[in-house]
Amino acid sequence: MNQTCYLCGSVRNEIVFVENGISIVRCLSCRHAFSTFEQKDHYEGYWDDGEKSFDLDWWDIAHRNIYTYFIKNFMKPDNGTLMDVGCGLGFFIKMLNQRKPDWKTMGYEMSEKAVFYAKNQNGLNNIYSGRVEDSGLKPNSIDVITLWDVIEHIPKPQPLLNYLYTVLKPGGFLFVQTPNFPIQLVKAKLKVRLKGMKEGIHYLEARDHINDYSTESLNKLALDCNYELPKYFILPPILSVAGSRNLLGKLFKISFYFLTKFFWVLSFKKLMLNNTLFSILKKPIH
């Protein structure tokens, strides 16, 4: 089990949660939280169950609202270049191609099975398998890069963010979506109190989510990789609950979204109670 902080290198930490025998700890030096489970640096197994297990209600239908919001509010120019890293089945790029046909798009994904689906079922020819760091892209060539639920899976994020910095145009931005750990930790502890610790229940996903970010730790990572201080936003929720179609759960998510947005505005964008962090990491214009 790993005890070394992925952001600062310290081995001093405290246990904040134990999920089915796997400790999640908080670094006592920089306060970053991480799972002690030792995952591969370039994990390819997330989609290994194959096409029959793809939850299309989750990956497609449930994400349409948030993708629409992002395209409308963060991609206002009529043209540009976007790269989606960890693009999965390709549904975000598919929607972007439909909504913004003059944008040049590309995606990179470690899983060959997911890439096969994106190409053959979603009709995308601009999706590539493998590490984006090996892509050979020209420096200063991309306007927008997106990481939808990716960065928490990567044990050592600095090499990836450093590479993405080189291919971004000055003034371009990296969009990062990742769970908001302080809120997720409260939810996980509440679940244990109500239901106990059981296999198959979503707590903090200690085997998959290796790094658990807060605004403070994401700020540190961004600045360490030479980006500007991140700006945070609250986007609409993904309208599904752990892949289900539970109507009550969806209504709760929508209500919680408006509540967190209310406190976000009321606190002058200081109090982040949302389940998810949505941040823009901009490359400075020198």
Residue type, 148: W
The helix or strand, by DSSP H or E, that contains position 144, with its residue range, turns out to be strand 142-148
Beta-bridge partners for 282? 173
Instruction: Confirm whether 170 is domain-assigned.
Output: yes
The helix or strand, by DSSP H or E, that contains position 19, with its residue range, turns out to be strand 13-19
Residue type, 42: H
d(CA 38, CA 41): 9
DSSP state letters, 210-239: -EE--HHHHHHHHHHTTPPPPEEE-PPPPS
What is the structure's pLDDT at 286? 78
Task: Report residues of the chain scoring pLDDT below 50.
Answer: 242-244
pLDDT tens-digit series, residues 126-138: 999 999 999 999 9
83 phi/psi in degrees, rounded to 5: -125, 130
d(CA 89, CA 114): 5
CB 164 within 8 A of CB 145: yes
What is the structure's pLDDT at 243? 45
The helix or strand, by DSSP H or E, that contains position 82, with its residue range, turns out to be strand 80-85
Global confidence as pTM = 0.93
What is the structure's pLDDT at 245? 53
Could you tell me the CATH number of the domain that includes residue 37?
A: 3.40.50.150
Structure-token match 């030479």, residue found: 226
Count of domains forming the chain: 1
Instruction: Confirm whether 201 is domain-assigned.
Output: yes
Instruction: Confirm whether 190 is domain-assigned.
Output: yes
Instruction: Confirm whether 6 is domain-assigned.
Output: no
If one counts every other C-beta atom within 10 angstroms of the C-beta of residue 189, the result is: 14
33-35 β-sheet, strand order: 13-19, 22-27, 33-35, 211-212
231-233 β-sheet, strand order: 127-129, 103-109, 80-85, 142-148, 168-179, 276-282, 231-233
Instruction: Confirm whether 1 is domain-assigned.
Output: no
Give the count of alpha carbons within 13 A of 16, CB side only.
Answer: 24
Range of the domain at 172: 13-282
What is the structure's pLDDT at 53? 67
What DSSP designation does 88 have?
T
User: Please, what sign has the CA dihedral across residues 232, 78, 94, 67?
Assistant: positive
Instruction: Confirm whether 3 is domain-assigned.
Output: no
Both tokens assigned to 205: 């996903």
Angle formed by the axes of helices 64-74 and 91-99, to 10°?
A: 50
pLDDT tens-digit series, residues 234-258: 999 887 654 445 677 778 888 999 9
Q: For Cα atoms 85, 90, 94, give the angle at the middle one, nearest 5 degrees.
A: 115
269-271-273-278 Cα dihedral, nearest 10 degrees: 40
The helix or strand, by DSSP H or E, that contains position 119, with its residue range, turns out to be helix 112-120
